[in-house]
Structure 1
Amino acid sequence: MRHPRNEGRQQFRGSQLKYETLRRQKDTLRIIFENLPVGVMVADADGKLLFFNAAAEKILGGSATKANPAEWGGAYGWYLPDQNTLLVAEQLPLARAIRGEEFSDELIFVRSPQQPSGVFISVSGRAVRSVMGLTGGVVIFHDATEQQRSLQTNVLLTHDKQGVIQYVNPAFESITGYSREEVLGKTPRILNSGRQDAGFYRQLWSQIVAGRPFQGTFVNRKKTGEPYWVEQTITPIHDEAGNLTYFFSVTHDVTELRKSQEQDMQLRLAREVQQRFYAAPPTMPGFDVAAAAYPAVETGGDYFDFIAMPGGGLAIAVGDVEGHGFGSALVMALTRAYLRSFAAMGLELEQILAQVNRMLVKDLRDGCFVTLILAGLDLQTNALSYASAGHVSGYVLRQSGEVECVLDSTGPPLGLFPESKFFRRPPVTLHPGEVVVLLTDGLTESAAPDGTEFGAERVLQYIRAHREKSAQQLVEGLQQEARAFCANALQDDDITLVVLKVKQEPSR
């Protein structure tokens, strides 16, 4: 016979075990809800909030409110998708769930002091029921802002099996310039740009009529006649019986993307042109020579070259084509070809510039020009002479670091006036320890965040402080110094440098 006291203890322990089990299950459920990436709100039948997870706080921009259910709309700033109509208490998702409604993926706009710019949320809700009946409601929601913004910018269009337009959204009107009234009842042919032939459209039509979706990128035309690139998906829509009923088209304007891709392609081509024509610095007894061009984000037309002259001398050219992009790179290649051709004829420096100028005047568009410094080095006497067509100054520094000679401009830029005159400066004899630096304005005009330019004086200061280094180290160090000065901001112009160090006296 069981003792009543023992039975009571067993029942108590059983109740404790059930309670602990329920508590652990409840805690586990709370942990799961708390860590869900979607917002979760739970309320009892009286509208008292029982649960409000971290994702809900993040999406809505605030914590649970103690306001009465009738005040939730104002407390959270819940609106219809038009972003203007405030939801009344009965329309709020949680209130509807508490009443026993079930709904999925309804769009709501939320704007509050915590979310002043507003967010779109996609909400689903249902009632919470127990053996006692309806005990509350739960809603689950996620941020749908990006998806909604994308839909608002996409052109939506439907047309029937004959191609007659039945619906267009506001984005269609905004992008194409046609009003809804102008296109309803017409066909998408009004957007035909003529860039695609009839075969393209026959293939498109046969594909969608056969029930297969179409995806493609092509050119349409706005009401103004302006062409624009689109990325379009056309989906055939069938009824419950499987019959084709209409077509749904989603179009995204990708004109800017295509322009960007075209610019990127031109940039790559321009850099290939530049790199292909850069000459390697020569190896010469008694001299240490280095050169480099550091391309900008948007490639320009910087140029350097080393040309063997008739009679055994060396010509050093550093140039800068006005503008950026593939066109400037082509002008640079043209300038290089002319320069080498006339240099091979044994002309003087100023005569070479005059001939190159006449050719460029014929070839270049109005307003396009080239600045260039052309230095000639006599390898027997170490005599350096030069002529400059509107180019930024170069420098000759003594072994002490003092500036011995400024290689300033001796004529206008190339390509502007057919009869421009150019002059050659008298030669200066180079001695051991002296440094010659030729550059483009991409270095001197490199700007710090406050707008201050790197300038020529900083170039000279760097060379003075590091003149014991090799020519290559000076080139690399100057570029690094300029980039640090600019706080490594995007480089908007090419930086080109040629450094020549004299190591010994001339051979005779």
Structure 2
Amino acid sequence: MSTNSTAASLEHVSQLLRDVSSCLLLVDAKGTLVAWTKENERMFGAAAENTVNSVNVVDLFATRSEGEELLSKLGQAGHVETTADMVKLSGGGFPAKLIFSAAGSNDRCLGIVTDVSDREQARENFNYLKVYLDTVLEISGDAIITSDLDGVIMMFNEGAEAIFRREALDALGEDMFALLFSKDDIPEVKADLQHEGHIRDRESKLVMGENDEVFLEVTISRTRDARGKETAMVALIRDITTRKRLEEERLQNERVQHEMRIARGVQLTMLPDRPPKVDAADIAARIEFCDDIGGDLFDFSHPRSGKLAVSIGDVSAHGVGPAIVMSSAKAMMNTLEQYTEDLEHMFFLLNNLLEKTTEDDRFITMFYGLIDLDRKTMEYVNAGHDAPIIYRAAKGVFEELQSTGMLLGVLPSERFRLGDTARFNSGDLLLLTTDGIWEAADPEGGAFGKTRVFDILREMQDQPCQAILDALFRRVKEHCAGQRAADDQTAVLFKFR
């Protein structure tokens, strides 16, 4: 705080104290007087130019040792209350009651000196001043603005300088209400202050500079002197911008989480409740999202021919956007398969629809198989998806159904071809996965890999499909060793009878 603003602050407070035969003393850590008001001149008989930075507070004591003892105690305890005989620098003296306290972190001490020549009046004054000083020191870490009863600023402390980014000298004489509140709020604030005599913790939003929003919490009280006469208004201001922004972020996060829960619920309704039960095969499926909702999806459906269709897909990235894209792709696929079982034509149409409706940075990999359960055969199209795995139980060998076309939604008019018809025998396994399974990484970055997937299928080929998938997901989790999954993980498993 500047010397001018300090002097202005003390001058105003001294006006509040004038009627109670008291004055303020502001000293540095060594006791040197650093400010001097008209009330100091009246009480001690010396002008500011003869005292500031040249007179020590101990020089105001009739007994110098009493002044030195006060400084010593103040340095140790930070607060002193005592009585002493004071001297006027112009001659003479008077008995006084003194209260001194350390004034925050500025290496300065603030004191109130009360003339107790009239002891009964002085006792009343002293009690009032003690409460006043304690209050000021208690809230000195906040911004404090003092004004007259019309709202004209008369004191502007360091906290106010920090919040409003201006020097105290520039703020003196301005309208306190215009500084603290918006133009629309001022009439209501004044009405509440007139009716209640105070305002408690009223929030105010101001714009400083071009676009810098600041949120304040303002308390305004009318002050009275020892005789009960209203003398001024004191505003306590706290900058609550950080708190408000944290509250807004919390509320926004809660809204997002609520929307995510709704989206997750919608997405889960699009997944099959359970795999279909058929005589020709045991079937199981499992999906785990790395976020609340994801970009993986699997489905079972029955086109008009009565065959069993199985599909699995993965949208680039994960989260809300990919989930919406995948849900749209599923709806399109379910519609198209009711009109045609020509998989090449179906994927041609699906790709064109997705290319027109998805963003440029989105694409889908998808495998779609159409299984004739009576013949245990499967026609399929693989649009850039991870190759499904077939385990031939009789021979103990693995086959992979490689891609037969590019990713969906990238280029229009792209052609897709059928893969070679897959034929299954009793005991054969068909595993469809997304890359989140075999790309799952341990803390050092090592991928789970397809070899481990092969090993699990071989080891557990005699187990039910659900048990095999549970073991697969468990071992993936063990491999990650607490590392959070970076992608959705989906698997569908058939075991033919």
- So what's the TM-score if we normalise by structure 2? 0.60
- 1:371-390 correspondence runs (5 A): 371-390=365-384
Shift of 1:357: 1.4
Shift of 1:451: 0.4
Q: 1:269 aligns with which of 262, 268, 283?
A: 262
Q: What's the secondary structure of 2:349's corresponding residue?
A: helix
Task: State the match for 1:245 in structure 2.
Answer: 234
CA distance in 2, matches of 1:383, 1:392: 20
8 Å Cα contact 1:237/1:245 also seen in 2: yes
Q: What's the secondary structure of 2:481's corresponding residue?
A: coil
Q: CA RMSD in A?
A: 4.4
CA distance in 1, matches of 2:305, 2:446: 45
- 1:171-190 correspondence runs (5 A): 179-180=165-166
- 1:92-491 correspondence runs (5 A): 96-97=76-77, 179-180=165-166, 211-214=198-201, 223=209, 225=211, 233-239=217-223, 245-251=234-240, 252=242, 253-254=245-246, 256-258=249-251, 260-279=253-272, 280-297=274-291, 299-399=293-393, 402-491=396-485
Distance 1:447 1:398, change over 3 A: same
Q: Which runs of 5+ in 2 are unaligned?
A: 1-69, 82-98, 106-138
Distance 1:186 1:94, change over 3 A: closer
Q: What's the secondary structure of 2:421's corresponding residue?
A: strand
CA distance in 2, matches of 1:265, 1:91: 61
Q: What's the secondary structure of 1:425's corresponding residue?
A: coil
Shift of 1:96: 1.0
8 Å Cα contact 1:234/1:248 also seen in 2: yes
Count the aligned residue pairs. Answer: 360
Distance 1:351 1:95, change over 3 A: same
* Amino acid of the structure 2 residue aligned with 1:268: R
Q: Which runs of 5+ in 1 are unaligned?
A: 1-89, 109-150, 504-508
CA distance in 2, matches of 1:213, 1:99: 29
Return 343-352 or 163-172, whichever deviates more. Answer: 163-172
List per-residue Cα deviations over 1:257-302 (Å, max 9, x = no partner): 4554454334323322321110131111121111121121353211
CA distance in 2, matches of 1:498, 1:345: 25
List per-residue Cα deviations over 1:422-475 (Å, max 9, x = no partner): 121011111111111111111111110000011222112111111222111122
Q: What's the secondary structure of 1:426's corresponding residue?
A: coil
Shift of 1:198: 9.7
CA distance in 2, matches of 1:335, 1:487: 34
* Amino acid of the structure 2 residue aligned with 1:267: M
Distance 1:231 1:257, change over 3 A: farther
CA distance in 1, matches of 2:304, 2:417: 20
Q: What's the secondary structure of 2:420's corresponding residue?
A: strand
List per-residue Cα deviations over 1:70-111 (Å, max 9, x = no partner): xxxxxxxxxxxxxxxxxxxx9999971499899999988xxx
List per-residue Cα deviations over 1:102-156 (Å, max 9, x = no partner): 9999988xxxxxxxxxxxxxxxxxxxxxxxxxxxxxxxxxxxxxxxxxx9xx997
* Amino acid of the structure 1 residue aligned with 2:219: T
8 Å Cα contact 2:388/2:431 also seen in 1: yes
CA distance in 2, matches of 1:232, 1:307: 59
Return 248-257 or 326-335, whichever deviates more. Answer: 248-257
CA distance in 1, matches of 2:394, 2:72: 82
Query: Which protein shows a greater Rg?
Result: 2
Shift of 1:189: 9.1
Q: What's the secondary structure of 2:344's corresponding residue?
A: helix
CA distance in 2, matches of 1:413, 1:458: 27
CA distance in 2, matches of 1:450, 1:306: 37
8 Å Cα contact 2:381/2:403 also seen in 1: yes
* Identity %, equivalent residues: 24
8 Å Cα contact 1:443/1:495 also seen in 2: yes
Distance 1:248 1:465, change over 3 A: same
Distance 1:97 1:411, change over 3 A: same
8 Å Cα contact 1:298/1:493 also seen in 2: no
Distance 1:189 1:107, change over 3 A: closer
Shift of 1:366: 1.5
- So what's the TM-score if we normalise by structure 1? 0.59
* Amino acid of the structure 2 residue aligned with 1:245: V
Q: What's the secondary structure of 1:375's corresponding residue?
A: strand
* Amino acid of the structure 2 residue aligned with 1:278: L
CA distance in 2, matches of 1:438, 1:157: 69
